[in-house]
A and B are shown apart, each in its own frame.
Chain A
Amino acid sequence: MSSSVPAVGDRIVHKEFPPISRHRLALYCGASGDHNPIHVDIDFAKQAGFPDVFAHGMLVMGYLGQALTDAVSPSRIRSFSTRFAAITQLGAALTCEGTVTELIEQGGEKRAKLALTTKDQNGEVKLAGEAVIAL
């Protein structure tokens, strides 16, 4: 980011991820400390009214964060937020994107606002978020 200043409308974040498997959810359960059984135990998920287990929102946000820090060093991220717009199902192959929406001066530095999205293979929006990065 230091070499060139992005312009409003530039898509600076783009990354695709492999389909989410049950194994991935089990690994994320351990790796994240989020042991909520709804993501790994189909019996629990069904009792809670869902047809099957589904991805942790924070696994999906973790992918979005990965796409973001492929483009922007973590030390430049001032804020990172998202709304979990829809449940991410097993098998979802996610695409994460981020586009510059605004260039601002804030906290004594030049910053950019990014609109972030995560969509599945059908184009359904799973996460709609925003990041503010230092330029």
Chain B
Amino acid sequence: MVDQSAVGRSFTPVTARVEPGRLRFFLDTLGETNPLYRGGAAAPVPPTYLFCLEMMDAAEPFEFLTALGIDLARVLHGEQRFDYHAPVVIGDTLTFRPRVASVTEKKGGAMTLIVVETAVTNQAGIHVADTSRTIVVRNARPS
């Protein structure tokens, strides 16, 4: 089971480019027809797209699970937060730096909540966003 020793652990930074073709696939999948997102150069990205960019360009998208010894089949997404500090647009190259912010046991150890916070910077070094995801691990019952 993941314990407090995981707090502060960081994982391999991910560099991702906001590519128009991949973004269009995302927009079409969600049935998003807002013309704002289809404006070509300097068009903004949808508010949850940062989460996707990090996963798409990670060499190991579930690195933090593997590194902490967590089985993917036991994981649920508990909470997600985005704080936006500066615009992200098509053509940007972003760097994601994830680290474990907290580990909390719930329900007498039946669940563990792990918060991973990720700072996002762009190609100019501007801190454009922070994301925070809470992972719920359904721990195996002791036999």
Contacts and interface: CB of A to CB of B under 8 A. Distances in A.
Contacts, number: 113
Interface stretch (B1-9, B26-34, B98-106, B114-122): B26-34
**Which has the most chain A C-beta neighbours within 10 Å: B46, B82, B87, B132?**
B82
A51 interface: no
A69 B56 CA distance: 23
A58 interface: yes
B45 interface: yes
A17 B29 CA distance: 12
Interface string A63-81: 1011011100111011111
B52 A66 contact: no
Interface string A10-33: 000000011000001001101111
A65 B45 CA distance: 11
Instruction: Tell me if A's interface is mostly helix, strand, loop or mixed.
Output: helix
Given A34-B55, A35-B61, A48-B74, A62 B46 contact: yes
Contacts of B72: 36-38
B11 interface: no
A77 B73 contact: no
A75 B47 CA distance: 10
Interface residues of B, number: 40
Contacts of A74: 36, 44-47
A58 B48 contact: yes
A32 B52 contact: yes
B56 A77 contact: no
A88 B72 CA distance: 18
A62 B55 CA distance: 15
Nearest to A78: B84
Contacts of A73: 36, 44
B79 A82 contact: yes
Given A28-B29, A31-B26, A70-B34, A79 B73 contact: no
Contact of B56 (A33, A36, A56, A61): A33
16 contacts: A27-B29, A31-B26, A31-B28, A32-B29, A33-B52, A33-B55, A36-B72, A38-B72, A48-B73, A57-B77, A58-B77, A66-B46, A74-B44, A81-B80, A82-B79, A84-B80
